[in-house]
């Protein structure tokens, strides 16, 4: 071998010996430093985090066997619907299946993408959500149930649109980057998008994170009252929070008067955000779900204030696990985009122009989305006919519902909301410690209270067996 | 159809006139935070002091506060006109997008920070400019606009050393060669 080379995926030196990359200075780290050196700032990306967090993947279902009786998998009815947001007497959002489509802005997404999501949500009997760019007429027309976001930027915020909405969602933060606003780089701030947001065309729009007209939870309570007054108390008020100090935040949102709380875990997506924030802020959705449910239970508001969890929900299996842990519904954003066509291997040459390939594209921030989803370029938008795209999202939503029902039936439940923690086991000590669910092969959850109970049990057993129980120090 | 005119004799709380579209509101007293927040059109007159975030995300119409207002007045304005007879607090005009803010008194630190567009006029002293907020030359059109806005309230627009503040536009698009401008903004 004359020079260094890669053979069988292993980098080798001139004499063929294996070159060991350094963990600290991995190829990814080297690339990161050099791209920042070129850019002169942090790097922005779309989609979400690159790390693997503790995830619903680390849980497994333990369906019925001799000890429990299953329902027939492909035949027996299994209810999926739920109404949410009725805490203060507003007209609730009726979900035929416990899934919602998350807020994604018109601006980050093309009009065809927004319209297709609305059409799919309507056909599937669920709700969809506006985003940081106001309400698009096409989206309103396509969506039977539309949640109107009240964001810190208030780009395009219009009280008439608020009154046309079926629910309002105060966005306190987002799982991908809690504590920081979003970014819409100049390439996507087309004249139409700029006018919708009252911005100069082509600016790098950096959204604020603090709301302009309130600061803390007590203030938000007054804001919620204002929103209720403006809508005659007819629509539920949601509060969406990036998952951080979940128990405190859930309790504060409950006290402020939220009808629905949306907790968005760190796996949550974004159109464009600093890469470092996505990987190093927030807590995973699985952990956030457990903490949110416990907080609602402590407040005796479980089932009164509804809980939607989001962030990295990929299929009906993740949704079933979230419901088993106590969520009322899940919200999907990135998964819905992927169903639209995101990362599909078509127009491959345009992925290559972006320096990427289908399956690894996260170049939403460039505005040059090869499949017409995250772009404002007319030629690219034309690649996403709304009706066909809606069919795909509807198909995916239906598959999620089927998966939810499949797991519920296997666990002997005739309603997906009857799934419970007892239907689960943890595959890792970490997941067991986070969720309080016993580790597979044991009857033991790796939590302090379980250890305390184990010690108490051992002492009781020793006493029963006639042995002297261990004594404390005197 | 005659536009509604609501008169409050006494102070009012938060969000007075918030999200209104048309009509006229007069407050014979002071008001709490966020008076006229997201006003679409119409007018609000407060014959007292205002709280923080007066005229936040204003999109149209007019908000007039005779006295002083608190921090973040005119934050994220997207249109319309905010007139403050007295002084404004810290970080007023933050991320202003469009519209006109007239401050007859002093502006506290950080006025006009990260403005995209829009114009701020300050009659008194400017404690410090926010990131990328710069002073521009006053023109006859500016003086005419000030007279039009202030005369109806009996506030003299002449004989005042007006400062006109606008966006420096250095934060519109990132340039690594202007890092000093971005140091505080990124």
* Residue A9, C-beta contacts closer than 8 angstroms, at least 6 positions apart: none
Q: First vs last Cα of chain A: how many Å apart?
A: 72
Domain boundaries, chain A: 5-41, 56-421
Are B186 and A41 an interchain contact pair (Cβ–Cβ within 8 Å)?
Answer: yes
Q: What is the pLDDT of residues A215-224, one digit of tens each?
A: 999 999 999 9
* Residue A459, C-beta contacts closer than 8 angstroms, at least 6 positions apart: A469, A470
Are A153 and B14 an interchain contact pair (Cβ–Cβ within 8 Å)?
Answer: no
State pTM to two decimals.
0.93
Looking at residue B163, which CATH number applies to its domain?
2.160.20.60
CB-CB: which of B40, B72, B97 is closest to A199? B97
Separation of CA B40 from chain center: 15
Q: Identify which of B51, B46, B42, B41 has the alpha carbon closest to the alpha carbon of residue B72.
A: B51
Are B172 and A208 an interchain contact pair (Cβ–Cβ within 8 Å)?
Answer: no
What is the rounded (10 degree) CA torsion for B167, A170, A241, B35?
Answer: 50
Token pair 């803390």 in the structure block, residue: A216
Best A134, A213, A277 member to test B by mutation, with max B CBs in 10 Å, is: A213
Distance CA A419, CA A406 (A): 11
Report helix, strand and coil shares of chain B as percent, to nearest 5: 10, 30, 60
- Residue B106 is part of which domain span? 5-17+26-181
* Largest CA-CA distance found in chain B, in angstroms, rounded: 57
In the beta sheet, which residues pair with residue A100? A331
Q: What is the pLDDT of residue A1?
A: 46
DSSP for residue A469: P
Query: What are the chain A neighbours of B19 within 8 Å (beta carbons)?
Result: 159, 162, 226, 230
Which strand (E) or helix (H) includes residue A323? helix A316-324
Token code pair at residue A92: 């609730």
Considering only CB atoms, which residues of chain A are within 8 Å of chain B? 39-42, 153-154, 157-160, 162, 186, 197-200, 202-204, 206, 208, 212-214, 219, 222-223, 226, 230
Which residues of chain A have a pLDDT value below 50? Answer: 1, 472-474
Residue B101 near residue B122 (C-beta atoms within 8 A) = no
Q: What is the pLDDT of residue A471?
A: 54
Q: Identify which of A45, A10, A59, A71 has the alpha carbon closest to the alpha carbon of residue A408.
A: A71
Tell me the count of A-B CB pairs closer than 8 A.
Answer: 87
Token code pair at residue B153: 């309230």
Token pair 């505080």 in the structure block, residue: B184
Q: What is the pLDDT of residue B181?
A: 67
Which strand (E) or helix (H) includes residue B21? strand B21-28
Task: Provide the number of structural domains found in chain B.
Answer: 1
Q: What is the pLDDT of residues B99-118, one digit of tens each?
A: 999 999 999 999 999 999 99
Token code pair at residue B139: 């023109």
Angle between helices A386-410 and A316-324 (to 10 degrees): 50
Q: Identify which of B141, B142, B140 has the alpha carbon closest to the alpha carbon of residue B165.
A: B142
Q: What is the pLDDT of residue A186?
A: 81
Q: What is the pLDDT of residue A243?
A: 98
Q: What is the pLDDT of residue A469?
A: 52
Which residues of chain B have a pLDDT value below 70? Answer: 179-186
- Whether B186 is in a domain gets the answer no
Q: Is A204 exposed, middle or buried (0-12, 13-18, 19+ CB in 10 A)?
A: middle
Q: Which CATH architecture has domain A56-421?
A: Alpha-Beta Barrel (3.20)
């Amino acid at each position: 071998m004359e020079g260094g080379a890669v053979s069988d995926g292993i980098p080798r030196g001139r004499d063929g010996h294996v070159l060991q990359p350094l963990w600290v200075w991995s190829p990814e780290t080297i690339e990161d430093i050099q791209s920042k050196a070129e850019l002169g700032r942090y790097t922005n990306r779309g989609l979400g985090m690159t790390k693997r967090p503790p995830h619903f993947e680390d849980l497994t279902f333990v369906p019925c066997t001799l000890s429990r009786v299953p329902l027939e998998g492909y035949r027996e009815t299994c209810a999926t619907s739920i109404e949410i947001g009725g805490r203060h007497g507003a007209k609730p959002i009726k979900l035929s299946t416990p899934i919602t489509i998350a807020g994604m802005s018109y601006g980050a997404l093309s009009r065809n993408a927004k319209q297709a999501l609305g059409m799919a949500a309507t056909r599937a009997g669920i709700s969809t959500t506006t985003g940081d760019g106001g309400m698009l007429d096409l989206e309103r027309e396509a969506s039977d149930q539309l949640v109107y976001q009240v964001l810190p930027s208030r780009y395009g915020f219009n009280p008439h649109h608020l009154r046309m909405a079926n629910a309002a969602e105060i966005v306190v933060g987002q799982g991908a980057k809690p504590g920081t606003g979003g970014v819409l780089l100049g390439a996507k701030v087309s004249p139409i998008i700029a006018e919708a947001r009252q911005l100069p065309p082509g600016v790098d729009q950096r959204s604020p994170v603090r709301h302009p007209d309130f600061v803390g939870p007590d203030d938000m309570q007054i804001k919620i009252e204002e929103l209720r007054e403006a809508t005659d108390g007819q629509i539920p008020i949601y509060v969406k929070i990036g998952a951080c100090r979940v128990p405190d935040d859930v309790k504060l949102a409950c006290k402020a008067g939220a009808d629905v709380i949306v907790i968005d875990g760190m796996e949550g997506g974004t159109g464009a955000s600093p890469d470092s924030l996505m990987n190093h802020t927030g807590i995973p959705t699985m952990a956030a779900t457990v903490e949110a449910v416990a907080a609602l239970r402590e407040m005796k508001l479980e089932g009164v204030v509804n809980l939607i969890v989001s962030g990295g929900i990929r299929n009906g299996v993740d949704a079933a696990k979230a419901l088993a842990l106590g969520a009322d519904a899940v919200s999907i954003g990135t998964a819905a985009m992927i169903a639209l066509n995101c990362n599909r291997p078509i127009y491959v040459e345009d992925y290559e122009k972006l320096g990427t390939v289908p399956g690894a594209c996260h170049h939403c921030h460039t505005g040059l989305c090869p499949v017409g989803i995250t772009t404002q370029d007319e030629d690219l938008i034309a690649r996403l006919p709304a009706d066909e795209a809606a069919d795909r999202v509807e198909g995916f939503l239906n598959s999620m519902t089927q998966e939810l029902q499949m797991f519920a039936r296997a666990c002997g439940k005739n309603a997906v909301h009857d799934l419970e923690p007892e239907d689960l086991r943890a595959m890792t000590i970490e997941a067991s410690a986070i969720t309080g669910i016993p580790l597979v092969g044991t009857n033991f959850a790796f939590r302090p209270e379980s250890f305390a109970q184990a010690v108490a049990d051992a002492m009781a057993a020793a006493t029963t067996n006639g042995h002297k129980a261990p004594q404390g120090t005197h | 159809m005659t536009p509604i005119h609501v008169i409050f004799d006494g102070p009012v709380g938060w969000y007075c006139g918030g999200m209104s579209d048309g009509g006229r509101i007069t407050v014979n007293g002071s008001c709490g935070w966020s008076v006229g927040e997201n006003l679409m059109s119409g007018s609000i007159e407060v014959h007292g002091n205002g709280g923080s975030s007066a005229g936040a995300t204003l999109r149209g119409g007019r908000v007039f506060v005779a006295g002083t207002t608190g921090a973040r007045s005119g934050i994220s304005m997207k249109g319309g006109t905010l007139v403050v007879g007295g002084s404004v607090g810290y970080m007023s005009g933050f991320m202003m997008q469009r519209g006109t803010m007239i401050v007859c008194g002093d502006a506290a630190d950080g006025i006009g920070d990260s403005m995209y567009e829009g114009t701020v006029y300050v009659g008194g002293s400017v404690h410090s400019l926010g990131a990328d907020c710069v002073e521009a030359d006053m023109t006859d059109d500016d003086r005419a606009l000030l007279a039009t806005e202030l005369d109806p309230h009996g506030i003299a627009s002449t004989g005042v050393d007006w400062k006109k503040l606008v966006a420096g536009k250095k934060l519109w698009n990132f340039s690594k060669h202007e890092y000093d401008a971005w140091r505080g903004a990124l």
